[in-house]
Amino acid sequence: MLRSLIILLLLSGCGKANISNNCIMNGFGAGYCNFTNTGNRSGSICGQIVLTRTRSECKSQLSEVICSGKVEEKSTSKIEFNMIGIGELCKTDDEDQESWKDVCSFEFVSDQYSKDSYRGKLEACILRCISAGECYPNCERSCKEQIDKESK
């Protein structure tokens, strides 16, 4: 009986959170992220929205840090955010009736990966690069090259 109880306690401590995100934002910078945990343990992630102007001069900017809060296993949490500066960065030519999405893109870059993993190193490098004023596509390319070079 005691042995069964110990095995049960050990097994209940196994598993991990597996949190994905789906973020939506409008042209005024108001948005939200749904964080869904498909894992078998509660957990949380934090990250930042990376907003990038993809037309003409490439520019990127970061949001404040956004955290999911504790997301229980097999559940979803919704966190709202406001991206300041989207109007200036994603300004369109009104004559062409373009949407801000025609000149900008965004994505959530998280810290959920181990700092020693390739993905963890890549995302940390990208966030540092953008914070230094570089553009997301350029940061992603140079960070991949740097990490690949270091791992050889």
- The pTM for the full model equals 0.78
Domain of residue 38, residue span: 15-112
Residue 124 domain flag? no
Residue 85 domain flag? yes
Q: Quick one: average pLDDT of 1-11?
A: 47
Which percentage of the chain shows pLDDT scores above 90?
Answer: 49
Q: What is the pLDDT of residues 53-83, one digit of tens each?
A: 987 788 999 999 999 999 999 999 999 999 9
Residue 6 domain flag? no
Residue 3 domain flag? no
Q: Please report, for the domain that includes residue 106, its CATH number.
A: 2.60.40
Number of structural domains in the chain: 1
For residues 66 and 33, is the Cβ–Cβ distance under 8 A?
yes
Q: Quick one: average pLDDT of 90-110?
A: 83
How many residues are recorded in the chain? 152
Residue 119 domain flag? no
